[in-house]
Amino acid sequence: MVTTLPSIPSSESVHLHHFKRRGHDDSSGLSPVGTDDSDEADEYETKAPSGAWRRQLSPCSVFSAASSGRLYAEPAQTLIFLDWDDTIFPCTEIFTTRNYTRRSREWTPLPPDLDEELSAWRQAAGDFLQAACAISDRCVILTNSRPPWVSACIDHFAPNLKEILAKNGPVRVVYASEMMKKSKSKSDEISEKAEGVIIKMLQSLGCFHGFVSKMVESMAAMRQNAPKPHFDLTEAKFKAMRKEAESFYSQYQGQTWKNIISLGDMAYEHDAAKSLSSTRVAVSQPRERLRTKSVVLLQSPSLHGLTLQLRIWSQLLPICVRFDGDIDLYIESSCTPFTELAKALQVPSLARVKVPAVYTQPDMGVKTYVTADEERAADELLDNLPILLHEAVLGPPRETFVKAR
């Protein structure tokens, strides 16, 4: 039985209207949520929509506008990017291990045994997305798949997610491939023009008719069957991330970029997030401080592994958002993922958490079976993790990492 503890109290849990009731009516020295200085605060006060002042404020912002940059962890300043396949949706398990067809047009009702086994994952995925939405005003599922892949998966495999992923719901679905259509069409147009020049030149010679015809057919086949290179997938996600970030961090004039989180099972989104951060340095305002947290999760996880991973990150997301720094972490092949997380988040107590090996092993195309002892160990992990995180946030640090000499 998994114990659910109350959410971790935040130092940013004091609301402005509470201060007004206590006699703090002068808001001229107050800084709104997530701003970095008084200039940004003044602009936000005039541009923010009605009710924006009811956002959670840190006590520090009541006394000093200069310290308001500490509010980077507010939902209004936190942008989250999530991959879909094998990060939220058990793609490998369903289509590789269970040999279920990938063609959505051929999908039939799920076998009873698979439908039952997916129930725990459905609940974990819903809880994870709810946790993400609780700490971010813009949670984006960013996929390299073609539309309407995500909605098709939800309709058939996880109808419980329809509400949270509805068109006007709290989670946005963005297809990165759509960002490449315009640039790709221009590239194809240039290539076709070059090919046309060569073909016309050969035709003018008058003696290569058969060769020219075959060359035209070969070029057309090459364009159609050319594999999509790695850099294209990364570039697509980078462009989509940049567009979402520019939109999100323009809620008021002078708003700076503050807190971006990326979770996925491949290097595409990780590299895209790092590129987004590095390119932002060249154009950002001097007072801007962007915290980029990019984590590569388990690759090709089993159904059990993905379900446990979603439950774990439902607990880790709040502390990840509050971490005042950058995170660049690969745990996709780590046998001790919590050791890596403990160092990245600077929470040494997390290193004591042990994940049963069966949950971290990649899906090799064979159905994974979890023993009763392994299942109890996973439940114990989920019971103890909230306690460790509460202690890390509320209590004084009892231990630190010692740098080896």
308-328 tens-digit pLDDT: 999 999 999 999 999 999 999
pLDDT score, position 335: 74
- 91-138 residue pLDDT tens: 999 999 999 999 999 999 999 999 999 999 999 999 999 999 999 999
Mean pLDDT of 370-393: 92
- Between the alpha carbon of residue 40 and those of residues 73, 232, 246, 252, 262, the distances in Å are 17, 36, 16, 8, 26
Q: Is the pLDDT of residue 162 over 70?
A: yes
Token pair, residue 330, equals 């690969």
CB atoms within 10 A of CB 82: 22
- 210-257 residue pLDDT tens: 666 776 667 666 666 665 555 588 999 999 999 999 999 999 988 999
- 38-64 residue pLDDT tens: 455 444 433 444 333 333 434 433 333
Angle at CA of residue 323, ends 45 and 321, nearest 5°: 60
pLDDT score, position 371: 93
Q: What is the pTM of this model?
A: 0.74
At residue 84, φ and ψ (nearest 5 deg) are -105, -65
Lowest mean per-residue pLDDT among 23-32, 134-143, 383-392: 23-32
Lowest mean per-residue pLDDT among 151-165, 286-300, 383-397: 383-397
pLDDT score, position 283: 79
Lowest mean per-residue pLDDT among 27-41, 121-135, 186-200, 340-354: 27-41
Average pLDDT, the chain: 79
User: Which amino acid is present at 278?
Assistant: S
Mean pLDDT of 75-93: 97
Token pair, residue 208, equals 């290569």
| Distance from C-alpha of 39 to C-alpha of 330, rounded to nearest angstrom | 38
| Distance from C-alpha of 197 to C-alpha of 190, rounded to nearest angstrom | 11
The model's confidence at residue 31, banded by pLDDT at 50, 70 and 90, is very low
Token pair, residue 20, equals 């007004």
Q: Is 301 helix (H, G, I), strand (E, B) or coil?
A: strand
The model's confidence at residue 188, banded by pLDDT at 50, 70 and 90, is low
Beta strand spans in 89-237 (E)? 138-143, 171-175
The model's confidence at residue 167, banded by pLDDT at 50, 70 and 90, is confident
| Percent of the chain at pLDDT exceeding 90 | 54
pLDDT score, position 34: 41
The model's confidence at residue 209, banded by pLDDT at 50, 70 and 90, is low
